[in-house]
Amino acid sequence: MEKHCGMQMQSVVSSFIFTKIDDNLRVALFQRSKKVTTYQGHLAPISGTIEAGELPIQAAWRELQEETSLAHPDIKLWRQGQPFTFDDIAIRRRWTIYPFAFYLSPRRKRIFGWIGSMSDGTGTVQVQSAMGRIPRASPIYQRASGEFAASEALSSGIHQLKTDHLSGSHELTSIAIKNFRNVLIHLRDQDQWWDLAREAAWHLWKNGRESMGTATLNAFINIFADMESILPLSIKDQSSWDRLLAVVNYHLEHRRETPIRIKDAFIKYLQEMFLPSQKQNQEKVLHSTIRDSIIDAFSSLPLSTLDLRILESRPLFEGASMASAVLSSFQSKHPTSSGRYLSLNIYTDASAALAATNVDFVLLGADQISSSGWVSNKTGSLPAVLSAKAASPGVKILVLSGLDKVAGSEEDLPENLQEPEINESTEVTAPWVMSGVRGAKLLDEYIQGNSPKTAHCMVSIKNVTFEWVPAQLIDGYLCENGLYSEVEIQQRARDVKRGMSKYFGV
């Protein structure tokens, strides 16, 4: 344990457990043992020291397992609060607190006694009173649960982000900014509006869909950088307030240009890197997997045939929907008389190796790009890349992404967390039932665990949303400013890290 100005310094996690009882959200607290060194006998969340080399979220899961034996899927990370530091002079201790809120499945609710209710307007008082004389107990609870000024608008925004499994990270970021603007309106009369605005942004980034939240983080860093010029003015002045909202509106509008600039960068890359390498007496055929800008790129190049291979992308079959959109776009741009041809092939996910035979490019989107250049994208991306590398040795793996997908810290990425984003098993099993898959009913019975005979067996569906493609497999990152190398991505990450430290203290 380090010391600072005579104070012992200690970093800890504090985890609240919530559940629904009679449509009210309730919280469980635990009496601190007489064996612990501080605050014996008081009610508190599950707390524990972060061990050397351990991430806060890893410490939170470890403490939950040690104290309650609970694990996924019975309990899930619900929200996390912004860490903060305070001094307890009485025991000469400087605490750095990392607050978390976990949600327990209501079917396991009987294992605890529950107090408080966040939905009847009195729960916060009850919870804070129950925690007694533990210093800063109220802020810990508020930061973990997201309860503070304008919390209704914030909670609505978090819920919208958390439950949206159709939008990409670019769209989710626009949604986050719009909700941030709603929160901002509620903060106008608050003396601490700047601190509260940054805390609200932190929650929208961390507690919406963190797996797709890097673009949201970057957007807020840029917004706050522009807002700083307004800080010396009185926010209650109408002109200052109008300028503040104008900053948010500008960033919302500016985001519309990014996909166009990425498409232009892709076209330039093809013109400079791909076409010159083709033999002039050879029919020019572009073989590639698909991203949104591929039809526009094809239209801009002197190619006669476009060969697209699209994976169906289970369980929600986004690939099939994309294929339909591509077909419609091609038909509208190139009539039969145009001399342009589209060969559109839809492959099952299991056929990734077949789809990768004789392709020129694999184009990947990115929900996040780590500071070391790894790319997080929809599950199935890594098999497609590995298959292409084996089946087409000359293939180029290109990432089409905005620079706002670059993360500032490896520690904040889901690859380092113990709980990946796992969606509902029904997304996988519903097509089984509709197709009359033999044995689907028996599997579903064990997945739900609703029968006494299932006590000794458990079937689980691993519907993991994202996976990581290593940087060493990627040939280039096509962003709105052109082609980036792995080294340039790392430099961008350092810039993001500085913004994270400045505006969010992490």
Q: Assign 3-class secondary structure to 184-223.
A: HHHCCCCCCHHHHHHHHHHHHHHHCCHHHCHHHHHHHHHH
pLDDT the model gives residue 289: 57
- Which one is predicted more confidently, 119 or 443? 443
SS3 310: strand
Task: Please state the rounded mean pLDDT for residues 306-323.
Answer: 89
Q: How far is CA 151 from CA 49, 199, 204, in A?
A: 29, 11, 11
Percent of the chain with pLDDT over 70: 78
| Mean pLDDT estimate for the chain | 80
Of 77-91, 349-363, 377-391, the one with minimum mean pLDDT is: 77-91
More confident residue, 124 or 481: 481
The radius of gyration computed from the CA coordinates of the chain, to the nearest angstrom, equals: 26
**CA within 13 Å, CB half, 185:** 9
Whether residue 132 is predicted with pLDDT greater than 70 in this model: the reply is no
Q: How far apart are the C-alpha atoms of 397 and 386, rounded to whole Å?
A: 10
Q: Which amino acid is at 256?
A: R
For residue 37, pLDDT over 80 is answered with no
Q: What is the mean pLDDT of residues 180-206?
A: 86
Give the model's pLDDT for residue 278. 57
Segment 30-55 mean pLDDT: 70
- Tell me the longest C-alpha to C-alpha distance in the chain: 84
Taking residues 74-103, report their average pLDDT.
80
Q: Which residues of 327-357 are buried (b: 16+ CB within 10 A; e: fewer)?
A: eebbeeebeeeeebebeeebbebeebeebbe
- Contact 221/496 with Cβ under 8 angstroms? yes
Residue range 91-100: mean pLDDT, rounded: 81
What's the Cα-to-Cα distance from 457 to each of 93, 423, 445, rounded to whole Å?
A: 47, 21, 11
CB 76 within 8 A of CB 175: no
Element (H, E) at 245: helix 238-254
Flag the least confident range among 178-192, 375-389, 440-454, 482-496.
440-454
101 DSSP β-pair partners: 16, 79
Is 164 strand, coil or helix? coil
188 pLDDT above the threshold of 80: no
Between CA 220 and CA 227, with CA 226 as vertex, the angle to 5 degrees is 85
pLDDT value of residue 125 = 34
Identify the residue with better confidence: 257 or 87.
257
Query: Any bridge partners for residue 77, and if so which?
Result: 102
In the predicted structure, residue 148 carries a pLDDT above the cut 80? no
Task: Say how far apart CA 361 and CA 359 lie, in whole Å.
Answer: 6
pLDDT at 75: 82
User: Could you give the 3-state DSSP secondary structure of residue 464?
Assistant: strand
CA dihedral 327, 333, 338, 339 (to 10 degrees): -40
Give Cβ neighbours of residue 338 (< 8 Å, ≥ 6 apart): none
**Antiparallel, parallel or unpaired: β 375-378 and 46-49:** unpaired
Q: Which of 261, 266, 322, 257 is nearest to 299 (CA)?
A: 266
CA atoms within 13 A on the CB side of 491: 5
pLDDT of 287 strictly over 60: yes
- Alpha helices (H) along 26-122: 56-68
Instruction: Tell me the percentage of the chain whose pLDDT exceeds 90.
Output: 26
Residue-level pLDDT at 299: 85
- Give yes or no for a contact between 19 and 103, defined as CB atoms under 8 angstroms apart: yes
Q: What token pair was written down for 18?
A: 């919530």
State the pLDDT at residue 350: 92
Of 195, 194, 216, 196, the closest CA to residue 205 belongs to 216
Q: Which pLDDT score is estimated for 487?
A: 92
Cβ atoms of residues 480 and 403 within 8 Å: yes
pTM for the model stands at 0.77
Say if residue 194 is exposed, middle or buried (CB neighbours under 10 Å; 0-12, 13-18, 19+): middle
Per-residue confidence at 409, pLDDT binned at 50, 70, 90? confident
- Res 127: pLDDT: 43
pLDDT band for 217, please (50, 70, 90 cuts).
very high
Q: Which residue has the tokens 């957007």?
A: 219
> Residue 123: its pLDDT value, please?
38
CB atoms within 10 A of CB 225: 13
Assess contact for 106 and 19: CB atoms under 8 A: yes
Q: Which residues, in sequence order, are bridge partners of residue 363?
A: 398
User: How much is the average pLDDT of 354-369?
Assistant: 90
Euclidean distance between the first and final Cα of the chain, in Å?
21
- Are the C-beta atoms of residues 96 and 9 closer than 8 Å to each other? yes
Helix, coil or strand: residue 238:
helix
Q: Which of 351, 355, 295 is nearest to 324 (CA)?
A: 295
**pLDDT for position 118:** 40
| CA 237/CA 239 separation, integer angstroms | 6
Mean pLDDT within 185-206: 85
The pLDDT of residue 69 is 78
| pLDDT band at 297; cut points 50, 70, 90 | confident
CA distance linking residue 179 with residue 227, whole number of Å: 17
- Predicted local confidence at residue 344, as pLDDT: 93
Residue 220 banded pLDDT, cuts 50, 70, 90: very high
Q: Model confidence at 11, in pLDDT bands (50, 70, 90)? A: confident
Return the pLDDT at 272.
83
- Per DSSP bridges, beta strands 285-288 and 305-311 are parallel
DSSP state, residue 83: P
Q: Which pLDDT tens digit goes with each residue over 416-470? A: 555 667 788 888 888 888 888 888 888 877 776 555 555 677 777 888 888 999 9
